[in-house]
């Protein structure tokens, strides 16, 4: 009987350890999801921060000059040098 108990003991301890670790993982996963949602809401641009998207940007300077002359408005020339994915 004692040898049977000795053989069963590691299996019981293993089952308990796996159960405890799975509940800890679920709690940690829920905490990570909540933290992600909080950070995502913090860094996500708000509508008021995206007004530049409402401007009818033109890629042709000539077309922009003609439109500005027709409407009597100035031109904003946004120019940069270097690679478009990293201004140098």
Radius of gyration of the chain, Cα coordinates, nearest whole angstrom: 31
Q: What is the mean pLDDT of residues 13-19?
A: 66
Separation between Cα atoms, residue 24 and residue 1, nearest integer Å: 34
> pLDDT band at residue 68, thresholds of 50, 70 and 90?
very high
Are 39 and 31 a contacting pair, CB within 8 Å?
no
User: Does 69 have pLDDT greater than 70?
Assistant: yes
Residue with tokens 């993982």: 25
Residue 56's pLDDT is 85
Q: What is the mean pLDDT of residues 49-69?
A: 90
């Amino acid at each position: 009987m004692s040898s049977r108990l000795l053989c069963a003991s590691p299996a019981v301890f293993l089952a308990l350890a796996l159960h405890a670790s799975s509940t800890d993982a679920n709690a940690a996963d829920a905490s990570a999801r909540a933290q992600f949602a909080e950070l995502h809401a913090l860094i996500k641009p708000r509508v008021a921060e995206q007004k530049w998207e409402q401007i009818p940007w033109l890629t042709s300077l000539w077309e922009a000059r003609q439109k500005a002359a027709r409407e009597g408005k100035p031109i904003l020339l946004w120019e940069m040098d270097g690679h478009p994915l990293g201004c140098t």
